[in-house]
Amino acid sequence: AQSVTQLDSQVPVFEEAPVELRCNYSSSVSVYLFWYVQYPNQGLQLLLKYLSGSTLVKGINGFEAEFNKSQTSFHLRKPSVHISDTAEYFCAVGTQGGKLIFGQGTELSVKP
Amino acid sequence: ETGVTQTPRHLVMGMTNKKSLKCEQHLGHNAMYWYKQSAKKPLELMFVYNFKEQTENNSVPSRFSPECPNSSHLFLHLHTLQPEDSALYLCASSPRVQRGPYTDTQYFGPGTRLTVL
């Protein structure tokens, strides 16, 4: 069965610093991975997704993620964060029947 | 309107009330989903509809009753809820439910914040 583990529940960083949000997955079938962001009082918005091909995936708002099959990881990175990046970030793995299995979320807090 | 809309955005109800949540998607999709988001817990998939047919019921209590009259609209009818049902209920849509392991991107609405007293 597929599962997703987000290793950090909260990540505080200062503005303009780099950030990495960690995600590990387990899956016995082909892997389709997603990162979503949830701003306060809003629904989830897709940041990026890995379906196949290049292991480095670029998304919106300057985020990117790298698929690492040997380490079963899909960490999200941004070289320089802004106050507006403060939000909750969810990693998810796609599974049979169109379902998404989500991690518990990582709360990114960007401080001035 | 564009994307996925949900009404109401906030709902407070007593345990004996009956209410309904509404979701509408303007993306031309054929699959729709209900999720429950509770504090400090991962999103929980509740129901999946594909071309108006329910394809997934994730062991949801019968006090939650979904309805999908067409591919653009999804309802969640609520009755005799418990305080532990208080949560953010998110609706999502995608082009379709794939048969194999491939998963389409899902597009989410803003959610309905439900409080059960």
Please determine, for residue A45, whether its predicted confidence score (pLDDT) is greater than 70. Answer: yes
Within 8 A of B96 by CB-CB distance, chain A residues are 98
What 3-state DSSP class applies to B49?
strand
Mean pLDDT of chain B: 92
Q: Report the C-alpha gap between B72 and B62 in whole angstroms.
A: 23
Query: pLDDT tens for residues A4-13?
Result: 999 999 999 9
Question: Could you tell me how many residues make up chain B?
Answer: 117
**Residue A92 identity (one-letter amino acid):** A
Q: Report the C-alpha gap between A10 and A105 in whole angstroms.
A: 9
Distance from CA of B6 to the nearest CA of A (A): 10
Query: pLDDT tens for residues A13-39?
Result: 999 999 999 999 987 777 889 999 999
At A71 the pLDDT is 93
How far apart, in Å, are the Cα atoms of A107 and each of A37, A38, A78, B22?
10, 9, 15, 28
At B101 the pLDDT is 66
Within 8 A of A96 by CB-CB distance, chain B residues are 100-101
* Between residues A53 and A105, the one the model is more confident about: A105
At A62 the pLDDT is 96
Q: Report the C-alpha gap between A94 and A32 in whole angstroms.
A: 5
Instruction: Give phi and psi for B85, each to the nearest 5.
Output: -85, -5
Contact B96, B105 (CB under 8 A): no
Within 8 A of B104 by CB-CB distance, chain A residues are 98
Q: For the ranges A17-21, A40-44, A85-89, B42-46, which has the lowest average pLDDT?
A: A40-44
Q: Where are the beta strands (DSSP E) in A1-112?
A: 3-6, 10-14, 19-21, 23-26, 33-38, 44-50, 56-58, 64-68, 73-78, 87-95, 99-102, 106-111
Which of A27, A99, A104, A107 is most worth mutating to test chain B (most B CB atoms within 10 A of its CB)? A99
Which of B2, B23, B43 is most worth mutating to test chain A (most A CB atoms within 10 A of its CB)? B43
Q: What tokens were used for B62? A: 């019968």
Please determine, for residue A89, whether its predicted confidence score (pLDDT) is greater than 70. Answer: yes
At A40 the pLDDT is 87
CB contact, 8 Å: B24 with chain A? no
